[in-house]
Amino acid sequence: MGGVAWYFTHIAHYWRRGMGNQVEKLTHLSYAEVPTADPNGLDTEDDGPRIGVSYIFSSDDGELEDNGGIDKDQEEKHYDKRNELECAVFRRDECIYERSSKTVDMGTYSPENLLNKCKPGDLVEFVATGQYPHWVVYVGDFQVVHLHRAEIKNTFLTDASRGRRGRIVSDLYKLKSLSPEVVVQNAMEQVGLKDRELSWRNSECFAAWCKFGKREFKIGGEIRIGKQPYRLKIQLSEKKAHILEFQSLEDLIMEKRRNDQTGRAVVIQELANHMNCIAETRS
């Protein structure tokens, strides 16, 4: 009940302040503070998944990658894909996103090798251990458009990578893509927007909006009232999964990105600690 009370307290505050005020930031709750489902995929006392974190005011720290980040002149930081969480996103019963070694190429490439693989309209994800993933839209001529440091920028792919390895992620979302020409046009038309002009909290939401044109990727694109229609399924092992529910795709993406930044080992440990606390409280 604590998680539900937290949610309704802040949703009431949100409506009092008005839909347009997206500036105030809430500190992200850790798994130990959020009611979640059994990491084994079974909840003995409840019928379904629990409510996930609601990011009503917060902005995504994923665009603060320079804090402890990699300069483009430094060596590429090792990225261990074994510490990457496999997950899926469901909108009601429809799978709209899936990241699994069984379904996609989880391998990463140097920025120079990526240039040989990219086509205009592709989405590229740069990754590094301990950092939020950074998404860009490839627009051709070795250039990308991306949201970075609260501004939409048009830069060279190698500059946007800042030394990180990357991969093409155009097929992770199972939504109908716009034509490459429209994707590039969507991206280029936003170049120069910054701060309060922005309609996206992070680079992934911006890149996905360019690719699919769905308002769900924008700030406030969905009203957070009623049943949680989105589910984030985190695959802990071949037979074990953990599920969180969210009222908006925007909130879910932010939690997914936090998991990517912390890594599989830390997330699993957080879940284990949380379930141990629940067991001790019940006993």
Contact 204, 62 (CB under 8 A): yes
Strands (E), 107-240: 123-127, 134-140, 143-147, 152-156, 165-168, 230-235
Pairing of strands 241-246, 50-51: parallel
Contact 252, 204 (CB under 8 A): no
Instruction: Check: pTM over 0.85? Answer yes or no.
Output: no
In the three-class reduction of DSSP (H, G, I as helix; E, B as strand; rest coil), residue 198 is classed as coil
CA distance 103 to 49: 25
CA distance 257 to 231: 15
CA distance 245 to 41: 13
Contact 183, 99 (CB under 8 A): no
CA distance 140 to 282: 57
Residue-level pLDDT, tens digit, the chain, 283 residues: 444 343 433 433 333 334 333 333 333 444 444 444 443 333 333 445 555 555 544 555 444 444 444 444 444 456 788 889 999 999 999 999 999 988 777 889 999 999 999 999 999 999 999 999 999 999 999 999 999 999 999 999 999 999 999 999 999 999 999 999 999 999 999 999 999 999 999 999 999 999 999 999 999 998 777 778 999 999 988 889 999 999 999 999 999 999 999 999 999 888 888 777 766 677 6
Burial 94-113 (b: 16+ CB within 10 A, else e): eebbbbeeeeeeeebbebee
Q: Name the CA dihedral angle for 142, 102, 94, 30, rounded to a multiple of 10 degrees.
A: -80
